[in-house]
Structure 1
């Protein structure tokens, strides 16, 4: 519920500070006093309207999804709309967006001013019927929850099956392509680092003759080795360094000669061909290592294609099992709904009779399997299509559905806001609307603007909006309420007869639960 509302500087209002109670809250006052302005301001305070007020603030007993919105709940959550240079929105002094505020508020507050057909949607009507069954048979709601869970799993598995069947259409091409890609890489059998080795061989082959010629010429140095050793001996110098150097040189020449001998067996053409093959892999895949990784990926894909048939068989079995369970639960749900349908229709028509509307029809038709079963609820009003109803008829039909829903509600329904729902109604029609709203107020906090004495008398809290130099609002006590009802009846010049009728209306309303 909305516990408190504060408004500062909006059009004819300088300031308003109101505390609200649960139940039916009525706003009355002369035309042009600011009733609709106040209603819009309350909506704006929780993000459901746009106004240019300096401050609109509501203290609400609503739970906020802390994880979703990143806002911590307080014992009372305070929603605030502030307008200075620009409009800003806050919840518990934490800045937020209008869309977030609106998303939270719409879970708890409904403004019944427009032709919103959501209450007449087949899913909403089924929910009404299911809630009614649940009061007498909680097992129905358990079966419904189980059905919804099974349907979610069934939908997920059928989507997977569709994906596999789509894959199967191209499976032959996919397998052929994977095998082709693997075959191309396997035909080359590249090794990591092989390109560096090949380039070294190519370099050595290109210099082979020059190296052989240079080594052959350099071999002459060894013919002077003994002469150098003798000279070093005569000089009494240590010849170890010279011996080591010559041995190292001899080892280098021998290794080079062995490598040159090996190159005799290597074909320069085959080396160039191999370099070209490796270069092609590098151009295509970015490198030898990347080519091998791509091959492994294609191998895994090939294995997955080969297991698709097995996966498909498992999915088909699971889907068939779930479908059997869903068909069974859908049939039970349908039987339960059909069994209570006449009772639900009679309940709805009792409210419609109170509201001076024609009887309605509520039928359950077969529909494709869904999360709610295989049923579709269809509402009709005798002789008139829903989209042809007047605004007054439309709102009264919606009230009847809400009243019917109250019979099976366990918790509070939130807040309803209605703007002159009894406008242009006769006294009897207005009283019927008032009685239904009083019934709804057992589960909803209801804010309503009224110009009729019947609805005004039924209010459990009554605020008068009036205008002096500015618009003002105050809560009325019982005597003041009787005087205001009398003003509504007779105008500004309140007669004794109007006062007596107002007192009688007010006192009779006290005896209505």
Structure 2
């Protein structure tokens, strides 16, 4: 069970310093109006990011298994809120934010205030009904239905995408064919652009190179006399003749290349370079253009198979809906059997809370992950949305009492018995006492019944400057309950009533 073990508050509007040990049952706070009960409650709510911080320091130690997600998991959970120039939020010595604090602890908290809950909505009520069904097949059907429902949602999402693609299919096909034809028409080769640039460079220098080559060959002819002279003076230069032969071979080879350029058309080369350059500018390179070509060919194949995929998908959706209908009927049968028990339990707690005419009906609604069943609550002729805050919250208590989770977490109630009659207030107290076996309950009360059932009763007393909050012993509880009945003058009748209430 998750609960607050203790809380420390410093420099709040009502308290200079407050340190309280709390119990994991029913904690009731009472005191005269304006003493600081609501100020304490705001500090308590701010510990979980539900309200703005109203003190310089608020620190709470939380017991129980809490999923801290990205924060360090230790033996205990310590939440700190430090307010100076700005407000800092800390979980186990790691900084966080108010929003993140709220997100982490929301699963462990219920704050009964205005009509801000889901307990009276159909999904929650269906969950409560399912918890009353002990049939193992029902649990398996629930699991199967949820899995198939999620699959159907994915199939429908894919169908929506396909429909959008079908709308634009002609345009998509036309564009893919256009890009394929444009690239294939050019038929580019990797490295071709660089080769043509080099070829263009050579072509532009062809005449000059031819002239220089002829001059070089003529010069080599004259080198024959140099050889004759050296031979005449009997001087031998090592490698002279072989060097001349090698140079001649190189020049003649280059001349052959120049002759090959003779038949080239410069305009064709320039046109080809321009075409390739346009492709490179569009796609970033020849390799990228060829990759785009393959990508568009694959897309075109996909577009051509969309109609086939569409038909297959429709069949899968039909099959999934048939499965959901079959499993959903089994869920509905079991729920119909258990509905009288749910109705009986809700009405039993409603009667205790003086809520007459509670109706619990099940009907077919929209399909969700829990099936197509929908539970509707009403109070007499009034729908849930039109109930007063008092009726709404008492009906919530009745549902929570039926749910009766083994580990409900923390339940916070701000003056839940305000404006109720004595009998109504006592009904609320009895239900909260039951809920305190699975929830740690915090409740502010101005009536004597709720404090009578408290596991710990705290009194907020206003001093000259600041208030104090103390844990009452039995004698203190008797006096405080008597004060709630008779005011500041404690009458014998009020004290006797308080004594009897605490003996129950």
SS at structure 2 position matched to 1:118: coil
SS at structure 1 position matched to 2:330: helix
Measure, in 2, the Cα distance between the counterparts of 1:196 and 1:424.
90
SS at structure 2 position matched to 1:49: coil
Q: 1:442 aligns with which of 428, 437, 455?
A: 437
Measure, in 1, the Cα distance between the counterparts of 2:285 and 2:92.
58
Deviations 1:317-358 (A, max 9, x none): 433332222111111112222222222122212222221222
Measure, in 1, the Cα distance between the counterparts of 2:171 and 2:87.
60
Structure 1 residues 497, 218: CA separation in 2 closer, same or farther (over 3 Å shift)? closer
SS at structure 2 position matched to 1:74: coil
Q: 1:484 aligns with which of 464, 480, 484?
A: 480
Give the match for residue 79 of structure 1.
79
Give the match for residue 124 of structure 1.
124
Give the match for residue 372 of structure 1.
370
Measure, in 1, the Cα distance between the counterparts of 2:194 and 2:51.
72
Give the TM-score normalised by the residue count of structure 2. 0.93
Deviations 1:451-499 (A, max 9, x none): 2112221112211221233311221222322222122211222122221
Deviates more, 1:170-179 or 1:464-473: 170-179
Measure, in 2, the Cα distance between the counterparts of 1:37 and 1:279.
75
CA contact (8 A) 1:420 1:451 kept: yes
Q: 1:196 aligns with which of 194, 197, 209?
A: 194
SS at structure 1 position matched to 2:200: helix
Measure, in 1, the Cα distance between the counterparts of 2:432 and 2:66.
27
Alignment of 1:4-15 (within 5 A): 4-15=6-17
Give the match for residue 217 of structure 2.
219
Deviation at 1:13, TM superposition (A): 1.1
Structure 1 residues 5, 138: CA separation in 2 closer, same or farther (over 3 Å shift)? farther
2:33 matched to 1:31?
Answer: yes
Measure, in 1, the Cα distance between the counterparts of 2:480 and 2:131.
40
Measure, in 1, the Cα distance between the counterparts of 2:42 and 2:382.
32
Over the residues paired in the alignment, what is the CA RMSD in angstroms?
2.1
Structure 1 residues 62, 107: CA separation in 2 closer, same or farther (over 3 Å shift)? farther
CA contact (8 A) 1:202 1:271 kept: yes
Measure, in 1, the Cα distance between the counterparts of 2:221 and 2:11.
115
Give the match for residue 511 of structure 1.
none
Deviation at 1:448, TM superposition (A): 1.0
Structure 1 residues 34, 371: CA separation in 2 closer, same or farther (over 3 Å shift)? same
Alignment of 1:296-307 (within 5 A): 296-307=294-305
2:404 matched to 1:402?
Answer: no
CA contact (8 A) 2:53 2:87 kept: no
Deviation at 1:422, TM superposition (A): 1.3
Structure 1 residues 200, 428: CA separation in 2 closer, same or farther (over 3 Å shift)? closer
2:291 matched to 1:289?
Answer: no
CA contact (8 A) 2:43 2:54 kept: no
Q: 2:268 aligns with which of 267, 270, 278?
A: 270
CA contact (8 A) 1:47 1:81 kept: no
Measure, in 2, the Cα distance between the counterparts of 1:330 and 1:169.
34
Deviation at 1:131, TM superposition (A): 1.7
Structure 1 residues 41, 222: CA separation in 2 closer, same or farther (over 3 Å shift)? closer
Measure, in 2, the Cα distance between the counterparts of 1:211 and 1:123.
89
Name stretches of at least 5 consecutive residues in structure 2 with no aligned partner: none
Structure 1 residues 210, 72: CA separation in 2 closer, same or farther (over 3 Å shift)? closer
Give the match for residue 45 of structure 1.
47
Deviations 1:401-441 (A, max 9, x none): 222222xx3x2111111122112222211111111111212
Give the match for residue 177 of structure 2.
179
Give the TM-score normalised by the residue count of structure 1. 0.92
Alignment of 1:10-21 (within 5 A): 10-21=12-23
Measure, in 2, the Cα distance between the counterparts of 1:286 and 1:76.
58
SS at structure 2 position matched to 1:17: strand
Measure, in 2, the Cα distance between the counterparts of 1:217 and 1:86.
89
Structure 1 residues 219, 38: CA separation in 2 closer, same or farther (over 3 Å shift)? closer
Deviations 1:212-246 (A, max 9, x none): 34433443334433321111112332244431332
Give the match for residue 415 of structure 1.
410
Deviates more, 1:218-227 or 1:149-158: 218-227
Deviates more, 1:353-362 or 1:146-155: 353-362
2:134 matched to 1:139?
Answer: no
SS at structure 2 position matched to 1:163: helix
Aligned length: 501
2:463 matched to 1:461?
Answer: no
Structure 1 residues 347, 229: CA separation in 2 closer, same or farther (over 3 Å shift)? same
Q: 1:333 aligns with which of 307, 331, 334?
A: 331
Deviations 1:356-398 (A, max 9, x none): 2221222222223221111222221112233332222222122
Give the match for residue 98 of structure 2.
98
CA contact (8 A) 2:417 2:446 kept: yes
SS at structure 2 position matched to 1:107: helix
CA contact (8 A) 1:229 1:239 kept: no
Deviation at 1:155, TM superposition (A): 1.0
Deviation at 1:445, TM superposition (A): 1.3
